[in-house]
Amino acid sequence: MNIGSITTELYVDLARAHPNARFIITDSTPPANAVADDHYQPKVSSFVEALRQARAAVLILRADHPDRWQTLCTFLGCSYPSDPFPDCNDKGQRSRSEGDRNRALFTAKDLRSDPSPWIAASKGWHGIALADAPGDSARELSQHHFAGLDSSLWMLREDTFPSNLALFTRNNYAMDADGTARLTIRKEQTPVREFTSAALCSRHRYLYGRFVGEVRPVSTPGVITGMFLHRNSPRQEIDIEFIGKDTCKMLVNVFYNPGIEGSRMEYGYRGTPTLVDLGFDASEDFHEYEIDWSETSIRWRVDGRLVYERANWDPTPIPHLPMQFNFNLWHSRSRALAGRLNVTDLPTSAELRALLVCSRQVEHRKLERGDSNQRRISSKPMETVRG
């Protein structure tokens, strides 16, 4: 956590209140003559001594230790992981932001979430509001608008996932004469699913920024229209979804798993969903929906108005690894979530009039087999074009 407002005295109080708690202190800059944990740094040593006087179990996890997993697992009494130890730098001490923060600007209802170590589920808890890191706003950004299916920037998925009863195929994507993209779900038998639909995904992965879509979702029970950021290994995700049985509400959600690139952490399938009451029926017209993702917070906007936000550990940490931007239409396996699909309501289509990405461009995803356009992408900002 490493929050400046948590003092040594507060940690000692925690140690006394929770006698079975274990405290792990990391330090990435050990002195050259450090030969034992207690001689690590004067400030750390006094902190450790105060905790030990409170009979707390304390481990100093040294950055130069040859096997940090072994040290950590011995201290915690757990099995040695199969993934390598996450080799990354400490963020350093962070400051809390000044002023009050209103978590839900519109009426919002938290739904059932996963029982995960990465979810702080305490009632009435709304996370730790952190001040933005210096220089965050000065980062170089890559910006572009969706302008049709440029295969160097976007790809149509041809796959599915366990909770989706439809298979994504290219044939369910079309562009109307006015430049509106149309994603259609239909009853169509395939070897793996009885329905087909469409999904659009960015080839680039992004770390923080603004992700905006001008969307008209489907109002068919059983069908979900999604606009979201996603990655696997470890799984992290930030969602906007429209549940077809009630398009007067917008579902926002965050999935968080810890680790560095390649860590096989995919804990949970519900995430931390919240329903936000929009005050209008999103399926009746186009509106602009935005995910504003930074190191310290996630903010959701509708037509430029802030409707909901989350701070760090509210109730999850903020996702910290690059993700792809997606827009899709799918048939949920969960009737409790999405309602029961009436096949006579199909085919039906979600419409997309524009997508905006304003973010740090991290990397270009490898082109899928069979893609004909193999040209590389410039990292320069693209010309603004309305799709």
Annotated catalytic sites, by residue? 237, 241
Rounded to whole angstroms, how far apart are CA atoms 28 and 166? 48
Take residue 142 and report the two structure tokens written for it. Answer: 């890559």
Q: Dihedral through CA 34, CA 37, CA 41, CA 42, nearest 10?
A: -120
CA geometry: angle 139, 144, 147, nearest 5 deg: 170
Rounded to whole angstroms, how far apart are CA atoms 236 and 258? 9
| Strands, E assignment, 244-323 | 249-255, 274-277, 287-293, 297-302, 305-311
Rounded to whole angstroms, how far apart are CA atoms 353 and 250? 18
Question: CB-side exposure of 307: number of CA atoms within 13 Å?
Answer: 25
Rounded to whole angstroms, how far apart are CA atoms 283 and 21? 50
Take residue 368 and report the two structure tokens written for it. Answer: 């899928």
Rounded to whole angstroms, how far apart are CA atoms 89 and 70? 19
- Residue 75 identity (one-letter amino acid): F
Rounded to whole angstroms, how far apart are CA atoms 226 and 217? 8
Rounded to whole angstroms, how far apart are CA atoms 99 and 152? 44
Rounded to whole angstroms, how far apart are CA atoms 334 and 307? 26
Please answer whether residues 241 and 225 qualify as being in contact, where contact means their C-beta atoms are separated by less than 8 angstroms: yes
What CA–CA distances, in Å, run from 289 to 111, 178, 217, 241, 307? 21, 20, 11, 10, 10
Rounded to whole angstroms, how far apart are CA atoms 274 and 108? 7
Take residue 159 and report the two structure tokens written for it. Answer: 């796959």
